[in-house]
Structure 1
Amino acid sequence: MSGLSDNPSPICLTYKLVDDLELKLDVHAPRSGQPAQGAVVPVVVYFHGGGLTVGNRRSWFPVWLSNRLTTAGCAFVCVDYRLIPPATGHEILEDVKDAIRYVAFNLNAELAKPGQGLGRISNFQIDCEAIAVAGTSAGGLCAYLAAMHATPKPRAVLSMYGMGGNFLTPHYLSPKNEVFFRGRELLNPNDFACYLHPGCHTLHPVSDSPLVYHLQSSTTPGYPANPRMLLTRLYLQLGTFLDYYTGCHEPSLSAALREPIAPLPADLVTAVDASQSQDEGATLQLKSAIPKRHIPLFPQLVASHVDWPPTILVHGSVDSAVPADESRHLHASLQRAGIEACLIIIAGEEHSFDYREGAEQRYGSPDGYFEQIVEFLINHLR
């Protein structure tokens, strides 16, 4: 087999067909000349952010992560998954599992097929025993789902300010009547009727909803033109995100959970600084209100009961979209279960800090956070 590909264009493949909906992934090849067991290379499977409601495999692409991993001789695979609504977390979980299964057991056959005038689609193969998962925001939740349920089991997990470290908090369950999300205005639910229960269930399934903004010539320049870009904020504002995530609207799961968290002290709701016995007591009280079929969608309720891979969690300390206490909470749960877990809280940073201008200069030095993160993944893929 020849050396590794230096083609910067990703290889786009369909990993799953659901009725007439093609679910796609992009394979970014290792960069030419990088040693990685000949041409059999480890792979990091990446899930995009967007609150589970918007985006695709090319949205919010983490250039800093992809460049470092492919330079180190890894393949980098970005995955589409079905979006809420009309999908729920159950369909997303199936897509996550199917994507990992495809990468492990089907991708090499596709990579070996003749390309159009290229002889082969690629000149490398995937080491199916060296798969890690990563995700940003909602993609971090997808990475958690892979950690819990995917076969083969990922070797490592990276969560960049991931959702799902603690769903059982007022951030997800309480209706909001004041600005709460990155200083942005409250939304009018009447503007989103087709995305609200019960009308949302008639929507056509979608796995690719690109980011679109109003033109500078419009009355709202730069404002999201794709309504899906606002849905997660709307569901958090209404305190019903978990209804859409689980599909449990009637009766409302959010309402059922809202009542038991109301009398709990704040430290038990976040369960970051609470003792283990207090944490377990509060968790059991809330868990009892969740139908059993939905439990696999809650990382905090499963983490200590499965063979969870080594995990690195990274979060900005002032994140208002996904509070940093979510990563603190999951980190504490993993550590109590004896699982290798590394937590990096970056002081003063908001959501999506790694996409901000100047992030490479702030965090990309040889001893910076970006290098620490990639080193963690590489060490567990070797």
Structure 2
Amino acid sequence: MPVARGIGRWLIVTTLLLLAALEVLLLVLVFVPLPRRPLIAAGSVLATSWCTPVLGAPALLGLLLVRALWRTRAVRSARWAGWVALTTSAVALASALAPYAAAWETARDRGEGLSLAGQFAGLNYSRGPERDRTLVYARVGRHRMKMDVWLPDGGAPRVPRPAVVWVHGGGWESGHRSQTPRWNEWLNDRGYAVFDIEYRLAPRATQLQQIGDVKCAIGWVRRNAARYAVDPARIVLAGTSAGGNLALSAAYTARDNRPRATCGGARGTAVRAVVSFYGPTDMAGMIAGGANRADPRVRAFMGGSLMTASDGFRLGSPTRLVRADVPPTLLLHGSHDRLVPVAQARELNARLTRAGAVHEYVEIPWADHAFDYNWGNWGTQIARPALADFLRVHAGQ
């Protein structure tokens, strides 16, 4: 009998400590800045995107388990394990509720609501393009640049509809068109045609060439507007992460045609408005003070160093391109972004405010980079109505 009680005690202790270790791991993934290696980054994004249920479920289980097992004689002989589990569970539960409370307050201030059931709406990510929607919009050398065309159901509208040119993310060196398909579906449901584009990736292309590729896509949509029943005066440019950077840079340099469209003289690249989801806004700030300053890949991508390619750094940094007449701008950024510091979005917001430019800044509390890959999390639930309102005002839909 004493042997059985001993085995039961250590089984209970092991269970409590494993649960505590899981909670600590989740807390680290959600809150601690970690190296951006692919596996770690994926775990951080997933844990942060589902922060409330991911932290809340094991925390509640831990509290219930501690309460139930503390009444047994076995746990009384190893109360230290119960206190460890109680502490980690309490911290995890508070950490699970804090993002929801902050998001609820942000949503309330904007006249919106949050859905708990909506947290489980699934992923907003596709492993590959929608090839049955694909066409070539430009040729640069041997490279054929493609876009996926997403059109609303119901055929051609009575009057030309607005369009969104969507630019994917991926750190300028990865990613693909139709990478976030649920945004395209959501926009289609609201009557927008979507042209989800690719662009040449680093290291084969510089950032300025990528901005030129985006301009080529805008020019193509304008030239083919009648074919898709699109109003060329109501084209909105939008992008996520690196795509947000390219979208802002292309929109802010449309008037002076720098960087130039790289597809052979595309004209008419002005857009009605521009939207950036957690995009970098200052390229010098992204590398300053780190090892990337000497990284030959960064030098190649930017066309040189901060000293030798200052014009390239300026044209690829929206904060340096601000004027009073830049297109109306919507910035959506997470306050807990561990890849593109939220300070970048705040600085662009401040400069747009000082310049008197039409813009809106939505900072999403506790959200990390790529928060919208979870279609139902608090950040995406705030971002959707914010984008809908912005498009309704500036694209008339």
Give the TM-score range, shorter chain. 0.5 to 0.7
- Alignment partners' CA distance in 2, 1:324 and 1:80: 26
- Alignment partners' CA distance in 2, 1:293 and 1:141: 13
Does the alignment pair 1:68 with 2:174? Answer: no
Equivalence for 1:157: 274
Equivalence for 2:252: 148
- Alignment partners' CA distance in 2, 1:373 and 1:9: 27
Does the alignment pair 1:15 with 2:29? Answer: no
Which residue of 364, 383, 395 maps to 1:369? 383
- Give the TM-score taking structure 2 as reference length: 0.59
- Give the TM-score taking structure 1 as reference length: 0.61
Equivalence for 1:189: none
Equivalence for 1:303: 322
8 Å contact kept, 2:245–2:316: no
Q: 1:296 to 1:78 in 2, by over 3 A?
A: same
> 1:27: how far off?
1.0
Equivalence for 1:26: 148
8 Å contact kept, 2:282–2:316: no
Please say which of residues 82-91 and 130-139 is displaced more in the overlay.
82-91
Which residue of 125, 145, 168 maps to 1:48? 168
Does the alignment pair 1:93 with 2:111? Answer: no
> 1:290: how far off?
5.1
Equivalence for 1:321: 339
Q: 1:349 to 1:364 in 2, by over 3 A?
A: closer
Higher helix proportion (structure 1 or 2)? 2
Q: Where do 5+ consecutive residues of structure 2 fail to align?
A: 1-129, 255-267
Equivalence for 2:283: 167
> 1:318: how far off?
1.1
Alignment identity in percent? 32
Equivalence for 2:6: none
Which residue of 109, 112, 126 maps to 2:230? 126
1:155-203 CA-to-partner distances (Å, cap 9, x unmatched) read: 111111011x12232x412235xxxxxxxxxxxxxxxxxxxxxxxxxxx
> 1:238: how far off?
5.8
> 1:145: how far off?
1.9
Bigger Rg over Cα: 2
Which secondary structure does the structure 1 equivalent of 2:146 belong to?
strand
Which secondary structure does the structure 2 equivalent of 1:329 belong to?
helix
Equivalence for 1:103: 221
Equivalence for 1:38: 158
> 1:154: how far off?
1.1
Which ranges of 4 or more aligned residues in structure 1 deviate by more than 6 Å?
none
- Alignment partners' CA distance in 2, 1:86 and 1:326: 27
- Alignment partners' CA distance in 2, 1:62 and 1:136: 12
Which secondary structure does the structure 1 equivalent of 2:321 belong to?
helix
Q: 1:293 to 1:317 in 2, by over 3 A?
A: closer
Which residue of 240, 259, 263 maps to 1:136? 240
- Alignment partners' CA distance in 2, 1:346 and 1:26: 29
Give, as a single letter, the amino acid of the residue that structure 1 aligns with 2:147. Answer: L
Which secondary structure does the structure 2 equivalent of 1:243 belong to?
helix
> 1:67: how far off?
2.5
Q: 1:62 to 1:312 in 2, by over 3 A?
A: farther
- Alignment partners' CA distance in 2, 1:69 and 1:318: 26
- Alignment partners' CA distance in 1, 2:378 and 2:338: 21
1:338-368 CA-to-partner distances (Å, cap 9, x unmatched) read: 1111111111111111112xx4253566xx4
Equivalence for 1:263: none
1:147-296 correspondence runs (5 A): 147-150=251-254, 151-163=268-280, 165-169=281-285, 171-176=286-291, 236=292, 242-248=298-304, 253-254=305-306, 256=307, 291-292=310-311, 295-296=314-315
Which secondary structure does the structure 2 equivalent of 1:333 belong to?
helix
Which secondary structure does the structure 2 equivalent of 1:360 belong to?
coil
Give, as a single letter, the amino acid of the residue that structure 2 aligns with 1:18. Answer: V
- Alignment partners' CA distance in 2, 1:246 and 1:13: 29
- Alignment partners' CA distance in 2, 1:243 and 1:12: 33
1:244-273 CA-to-partner distances (Å, cap 9, x unmatched) read: 33211xxxx14x4xxxxxxxxxxxxxxxxx
Which secondary structure does the structure 1 equivalent of 2:251 belong to?
helix
